[in-house]
Amino acid sequence: MTITLEVNGQRHVVDATGRRLLAVLRDDLELLGTKLACGEGACGACAVLLDGRSVNSCLLLAEAAAGHEIVTIEGLSTGRASALQDAFVAEDALQCGFCTPGQVVSATALLEQTPGPTREQIHEAMAGNLCRCGAYPKIERAILRAAGDA
Amino acid sequence: MSSYARPASVDEALELLGHEGAVVLAGGTDLAGQIDRGITTPALLVDLQDAGLGGVSADGDGVRIGATVTLAELARTDLLTPYAAVVTAAALAASPLLRNQGTVGGNLCQHTRCWYYRGEEWQCWLGGGDTCFAQIGDHRKHGLEEGDCISAHPSDLAPALAACGATIVVRSADGERELPLLGLYRRPTDENRSLVTLAVGEMVVAARLPAPPDASVYLRTGERRTFSFPLVSVAAARRGDALTLAAAGVANIPRALDPAEPLAGLPGHPQSAWKRTVLETLVERASQAVQG
Amino acid sequence: MTARFVRTQKELEGRYEDVWVLVDEADDVETWAPDADLALVGRPAPRQDGAARAAGRVRFTVDVHLAGMLHAAVLRSPVAHGRVRSLDLEAALAVTGVRAAIGPESELSLTTRAPLLAAEPAYAGQPIAVVAADTPEAARAGLDALALDLEVLPHVVDPQQALNEQRFTADPSDDARGDAEAALAVADVRVELSLDTPAHVQTPLEPHAAVASWDGDQLTAWVSTQGMFSAREELATAFGLRKDDVRVRTEFVGGGFGAKQGAGFEGLAAAELSRATGRPVRLVNDRHAEQLDGGRRAATRQTVRLGARRDGTITAIDADAVIAMGQGGWVMPVLIPARTLYHCADVRALTFPVKINLRAQNAFRAPGVMEGTAAFEQAIDELALALDLDPLELRRRNHTDVDQVSGLPYSSKHLLACYDRAAELAGWAGREELRASRGDGLLRGMGCATQIWWGGGGPPSHATVRLDADGHAHVVTGIQDIGTGTFTGAQIVAAEELGLPLDHVRVTGGDTGPNVYGPLAGGSQTTPSVMPAVRSASAKVRKILLQLAGDVFEIAAGDLEISNGRIRSRDGAIDAAVTEVTDKLGNATIDGSGSRGPNPEGFVVNTFGCQIAQIAVDPGLGEVRVERIVAVHDVGRIVNPLTASSQVEGGVLQGMAFALSEELVVDPTTGVPVNAHLDDYKIPTIADVPEIVIDFPHVPDANLPNVGSKGLGEPPIVPTAAAIANAFAHATGRRAAGLPLTRARVLEALA
């Protein structure tokens, strides 16, 4: 089915038949920041914002995503996201960087909903974004820092 | 490859469901995996997001929860605060990303968890084959009941809703019926391997909760602090002196526990028997927690 | 450069080989003094490319999209052991969009020692055929069309069975010194411990991946690898090419942890299919393939017997290890901890590498030594208990400054300082009070473990530095930054030596094109191998720059110094920006190249450390919660404390997961792993993270010239699981029969 997707504020017409949103983002729209790491919703590397909430784009059917506002890591380049990204760099909240776009997406949604999160709230909100390199302690610090600077 | 439709009403959805190979799509968080692993091959996906099945509303003394309400919405809805077990279960299920997509209906109807059932390399009994590989193989995370399938059902919401006395509203082209929550489930048999009592053309449209219990709690243990299927979980609710218990992870469907004999009918298997100890602990703690 | 060839020993994870290395006689860099006041080295600095990573702008191998690129899909064995009866390549080729299909009988243009594709697969997940098509969907359709018919053959996945049937991948080895058996017999105190350690899967989030593209007879391959020069060598050999005709690019790698060596099956298959079709080919493991065939740390069963005198002196060590190797692989040094951690003259170490129907084991962060430490350090704690000695004190009493296998002294060893510091940070003195109940129903305990690993690096390793008219330097290395932050380390060292601000230095690597050789990112060798080369190259450029400055300011170069981008004379008369000299370059550049010198002779270069874990056990649920890990590691000079602490956190978390939850489980009936996906193989989430307290002795290794750094990549994963297991024993008074400490194991131990 051909559908219209709204991604990062722009509309795209794509052939979405049977495809997941992640494949359309990466293969059709060349938005390569969102990653395929597991394809089963277990790691969060594919996280995008759907109407402001962080979801696994590897599970989401592109057809089901039509009519919603989709924001990828590429769309998070101003305002809070940028301060968050700065905090990630300053705190070294990343190592290989593969999971980082997903982390930033989920953290952005968290700070939007809860501007001053506790450590507990950060753990709850970020638990769906795995990091095999183990940057977690610093991811937590980066989010607290960005929240504090806001 | 599946076709896709997004009906604008429940009636339209039911009509589409009448098509051969049609399957409902809610959040898709379990269905996507079923499709990818070849467990389900739908000809038509009926997307329920615009069919008017959302919303949590007061319902007499109780609450009505639309089938496509997401777990995240459920966890933050004030109307549900008096049903502590339900809120906890919704907040602890899966991951925050999955909770943003996964729905009440989907969570209740999700397929069971067993690495043989879900694995591409085995065609197990539950999947239509002849052998329960778990019973002859590695069943360390599996259930405690005896039977043809010893998988462990992973729904957090089911025991919590069940303990709080919830019912399920099911609709078909022929009409509506309501049944106790645990009535949604059946143990699979040789003739019919399905774990739910839904007939073809039927779908869950809502869960209804009666007036809140005096107290309720949901306790679970998983394989890591969070983002894990419940290895064992217990929901407890007290109304006056009456205690209701339900559990996940101990049978191939969510099931009630007898407060007098919680381990009855749950002898365990050699590698899963450890769950009996954990179940005992959770029953004790949950019961104490609701005594107040 | 005045060059000479020198014969020296190159060490990688305890394996030594003699190599010729190119040495620069003109390299007169003076080793930094331990108390040198360095402007940048030793100070925290954010990653050079951090902003790009945080914005999702960096391109990993999986992100490479080339025009006309084909997508490859791999048919993998669904059984542990089988024989292909038929495979319909023609049917696959007939599918619309499929451009190539190869199977075990196909004639390939490449040659490899072992066949690329298996006619008789010996493990579930082994590649049987590959299809390349215009789209991923067409490739999958092509796979379906192959209609694989497989005869199922018997398999062996139980290591005990393999041992009983004498199935080995290599000869069992017996490393002995003295007479352990006799010494055990007369020991005052004896303990024995048998333990299982799990199969542990690297699980990098970016799976193994490659994109290959030919231009005539020249091959460019993007490979998600830790060793681009090994990949280049493999590809050149396979296709009969000169190394110069192969370019491997691996600028960004989404995690490796040891699993990604050389070109891999992905690089070879992609290159083969690209040659056959004349189009670029992309081959990426899906997650299931990654977990089945990406590699793993092999499971072991170890038995340790220790003998000691009443005064705590260890007098006998007798250890054996059965390693569930899979189909082959390097036999990891599981018993090195037994043989080298402590002083002992009578030691026996028996290793049985058994052959089972699983993929060959490969490297996973501190291979062998990590799982060996997990068992051996628990036995040491049992000995401490039997002797009624404090576990740290027992370790101190058996300390050695001499490598027990070679008899050579260590180049540096500050382990005793690590014990003291870790004990201080952990509150070790209050260990017994910790066990007192806090009324929350949890059992608490504290345990320690010693870390040993290699970390000296070595030649060959080169770097070039080029300074331009803007006063900006470009450092070219031959390394891959797999998340370790080594690019940034090189940036810091170069900026320090050049006297430039950090952001005036840019480091590149991850490309064999420039032919500047660097070692693979493994064995904790990058920092000690590459930083000296970078510094030497920078020193040459600095020398030339000062000479040119001398020309410009009409003063002797020896009277000038550079720091923070400014050139100053000793008498203070001149204070100018570097650009006042370099802007006269125009389009010319000042170039320098440097090499890592030979390793010091007569020493063994190891790293050492101590970790202490504090845990809480919920006995009703069998749940173990790690509350705190203290990690103190002696790795010589720390170049960047910010990225160094990240390495420690990463290693600790992987070690913790090995102790608590990670285990690749194999179905006994079919021999196929049951949890080769991410839903049932649980790696930690942010909610599982304990408090991690980190420190270093910060004493440069005086015997490692130039920079004095040892490698840090692997040391942090080595002792964590042992420390947690020892804490468990302290908390509960029981020891589990193995790792991980699953609910079942914990409840069984407590029963």
- Whether pLDDT at A79 is above 70: no
Mean pLDDT of chain C: 96
Distance CA C462, CA C514 (A): 11
Q: Which two tokens stand for residue C216?
A: 């005539």
Of C482, C536, C530, C480, give the one whose Cα is nearest residue C508: C480
End-to-end CA distance of chain A: 43
Structural domains in chain A, sorted by start: 2-76 (3.10.20.30), 83-147 (1.10.150.120)
pLDDT band at residue A78 under the 50/70/90 scheme: low
Provide the chain B residues 90-129 that lie in CB contact (below 8 A) with chain A.
Answer: 91, 94-98, 100-101
Question: Chain-centre distance of CA B288, in angstroms?
Answer: 25
Per-residue pLDDT band for A77 (boundaries 50, 70, 90) equals confident
Query: CA C222 → CA C214, C227, C274, C513, distances in Å?
Result: 12, 12, 13, 12
Chain-centre distance for alpha carbon A50 = 10
Task: Please indicate if any CB of chain A lies within 8 Å of the CB of B287.
Answer: no
Phi and psi at B72, nearest 5°, equal: -65, -45
pLDDT of residue C25: 73
Residues in chain A closer than 8 A to C259 (CB atoms): none
Task: Tell me if C744 and B274 make a contact (CB, 8 A cut-off).
Answer: yes
Helix axes C641-660 and C720-732, enclosed angle (nearest 10): 50
- At C21 the pLDDT is 83
Backbone angles phi, psi at C707, to 5 degrees: -110, -35
Closest chain C residue to the Cα of A101, Cα to Cα: C56
Q: Is C362 helix (H, G, I), strand (E, B) or coil?
A: coil
Over residues B261-285, the mean pLDDT reads 97
Q: Contact C132/C72 with Cβ under 8 angstroms?
A: yes
Q: How many CB atoms lie within 10 A of CB B42?
A: 18
Could you list the beta-strand ranges (E) of C178-245: 189-197, 209-215, 218-223
- Identify the chains in contact with C, defined as 3+ C-beta pairs within 8 A: A, B
CA of A94, closest CA in chain B: separation in Å? 20
Q: Is C742 in contact with B116 (Cβ distance < 8 A)?
A: no
Residue B68 has pLDDT above 90, yes or no: yes
C-alpha C732/C-alpha C435 separation (Å) is 9
Test B115 with C675 for CB contact under 8 angstroms.
Answer: yes
Assign C352 to helix, strand or coil.
Answer: strand
- Look at C742 and B140 and tell me if their CB atoms are within 8 Å: yes
* Size of the B and C interface in Cβ pairs below 8 Å: 83
pTM (whole model) above 0.80: yes
What pLDDT does C208 receive? 98
pLDDT (0 to 100) of residue C1 = 61
Q: What radius of gyration, in Å, describes the C-alpha atoms of chain C?
A: 27
Q: Which helix (H) or strand (E) holds A53?
A: strand A53-56
Give the pLDDT of residue C27. 78
What's at C716, amino acid-wise? P
Partners of B235 in beta bridges: B218, B246
The secondary structure element, H or E, covering residue C631 is strand C623-634
pLDDT of residue A12: 98
State the DSSP string of C130-154: EEEESSHHHHHHHHHHT--EEEE--
Overall average pLDDT of the C414-431 stretch = 98
Q: What is the pLDDT of residues B29-63, one digit of tens each?
A: 999 999 999 999 999 999 999 999 999 999 999 99
Please name the member of C621, C623, C669 whose beta carbon is closest to the beta carbon of B133.
C669
Average pLDDT over residues C271-282: 98
For range C433-457, the mean pLDDT: 94
pLDDT at C465 over 90: yes
In chain C, which residues touch B (CB < 8 A)? 78-79, 124, 288, 620-623, 625, 660-661, 665-670, 672, 674-675, 677, 679-680, 682, 684-685, 687-688, 742-744, 747-748
**Cα A115 versus chain centre, distance:** 17
**Cβ separation A34–C56 shorter than 8 A:** yes
Distance CA(C469)–CA(C587), nearest Å, equals 7
Whether A54 sits inside 8 A of B101 (CB atoms) is: no
State the pLDDT at residue A80: 59
**Distance between CA C635 and CA C613 in Å, rounded?**
20
Helix (H, G, I), strand (E, B) or coil at B232: strand
The mean pLDDT value of chain B amounts to 97
Contact B121 C747 (CB under 8 A): no
| Cβ pair B33:A41 closer than 8 A | yes
B97 with A56: Cβ contact below 8 A: yes
- Which residue has better confidence, C427 or B292? C427
The answer to whether residues C739 and C452 touch, using CB atoms and an 8 Å cutoff, is no
Residue C67 pLDDT exceeds 80: yes
- What is the distance between the alpha carbons of residues B134 and B119, in angstroms, rounded to a whole number? 12
Q: What proportion of chain C, given as a percentage, has pLDDT over 70?
A: 100
pLDDT digits (tens, 9 = 90+) for B220-268: 999 999 999 999 999 999 999 999 999 999 999 999 999 999 999 999 9
Domains of chain C by range and CATH?
Answer: 3-59+458-595 (3.30.365.10), 64-153+202-293 (3.30.365.10), 300-456+602-750 (3.30.365.10)
Closest CA in chain C for residue A95? C483
C226 with C252: CB under 8 angstroms?
no
What is the DSSP code (8-state) at residue B89? H
Closest-CA residue of chain C to A120: C687
Interface residue ranges in chain B relative to chain C, Cβ cutoff 8 Å: 33, 95, 115-116, 118-122, 133, 136-138, 140-141, 221, 223-228, 231, 271, 274, 277-278, 280-282, 284-285
Q: Are B29 and A56 a contacting pair at CB < 8 A?
A: yes
How confident is the model over B123-146, as a mean pLDDT?
97
Question: For residue C113, with 0-12 CB atoms within 10 Å meaning exposed, 13-18 middle and 19 or more buried, which class applies?
Answer: exposed
CB-CB under 8 Å, B33 with A40: yes
Q: How far apart are CA B72 and CA C378, in angstroms?
A: 44
Cβ separation C623–B221 shorter than 8 A: yes
The encoded tokens of residue C518 equal 């660097």
User: Cα separation of C430 and C424, whole Å?
Assistant: 10
Q: Which of C43, C48, C53 is the best substitution to test chain A (most A C-beta atoms within 10 A)? A: C53
Tokens of C474: 């470009």
Cβ-based contacts of B224 with chain C (< 8 Å): 660-661, 682, 684-685, 687-688
CB C123 within 8 A of CB C80: yes
Model confidence over C216-264: pLDDT tens digits? Answer: 999 999 999 999 999 999 999 999 999 999 999 999 999 999 999 999 9
CB contact under 8 A, C54 and A104: yes
pLDDT of residue C598: 87
Report whether pLDDT(B292) > 90. Answer: no
The answer to whether the CB atoms of A56 and B226 lie below 8 A apart is no
The pLDDT score that the predictor gives to residue C600 is 86
- Give the A-side interface with B, CB within 8 Å: 1, 17-18, 20, 39-41, 44, 47, 50, 53-56, 58-61, 63-64, 106, 123-129
Find the angle CA(B183)-CA(B189)-CA(B191) to the nearest 5 degrees: 115
Nearest CB to B138 within list C124, C667, C742? C667
* 3-state SS, residue C582: helix
Cα distance between residue B229 and residue B223, in whole Å: 8
Model confidence at C44: pLDDT above 80 = yes
- Cβ pair C726, C381 in contact under 8 A: yes
Helix (H) or strand (E) holding C750: helix C743-750
Terminus-to-terminus CA distance in chain B, angstroms?
54
CB A58 within 8 A of CB A36: yes
Residue with tokens 């579930």: C124
Residue among A32, A98, A124 whose CB faces C254 most closely: A98
- Give the gap in angstroms from C-alpha A125 to the nearest C-alpha of chain C: 9
Interface predicted TM-score (ipTM) of this complex, two decimals: 0.97
Region C334-344: what's the mean pLDDT? Answer: 98
d(CA B187, nearest CA chain C) in Å: 24
Residue type, C80: A
